[in-house]
Amino acid sequence: MAWFLHPQSSQQILHKATTRALVIILLLWIGVHANAQQRTGVITVRFFQITVEIADTPASRTQGLMGRRTLPLNYGMLFVFERPERQCFWMKNTPLPLTIAFIGDDGAIVNFADMEPFSEQAHCSEKPVRYALEMERGWFRARGVIAGDQVSGPSLTRN
């Protein structure tokens, strides 16, 4: 009978299907896990400690905080660039209101900008900087952090 399969053939078919399914699940898990794995560090602004996701590659800087609706308390994203340049940011695809602090090579905050969700308006550093720190809007103001205050930590590697 054509519909009858030999028991060994059924086991082989089941084994191949199971193996394929496991490989697909593993690949999906690796893809999701790789996207979820973001390098983090701790920096200090004045005496406030902040856990930061470190965006130091073109891909991670492009992604930024897009799509995020909330941030944990004292949590932000530190953008690290190869060399000091005038940096500009926008909020396209970012639903979370943020304040950005532009930070010079010496660790001093140069200037701040409050950024509106989903806005394509550019917010730029007043002078060349190597770092930018995005925090929930108002975080700096609520803690009395001003331009000239120092940011320090191992994530701020100065050449």
What is the pLDDT confidence band of residue 10, given thresholds at 50, 70 and 90?
low
- The answer for residues whose C-beta is within 8 angstroms of residue 157's C-beta and 6 or more apart is 80
Q: What is the pLDDT of residue 30?
A: 37
Q: Which pair of tokens denotes residue 35?
A: 């996207």
Q: What is the pLDDT of residue 156?
A: 75
Whether residue 115 lies inside any domain: the answer is yes
| Parent domain of 68 | 40-152
> Do residues 32 and 67 share a domain?
no
Rounded Cα distance between 127 and 24, Å, is 48
* Total of domains in the chain: 2
Rounded Cα distance between 114 and 108, Å, is 18
136 class by beta-carbon count within 10 Å (0-12 exposed, 13-18 middle, 19+ buried): buried
> Do residues 62 and 84 share a domain?
yes
Q: What is the pLDDT of residues 108-145, one digit of tens each?
A: 999 999 999 999 999 999 999 999 999 999 999 999 99
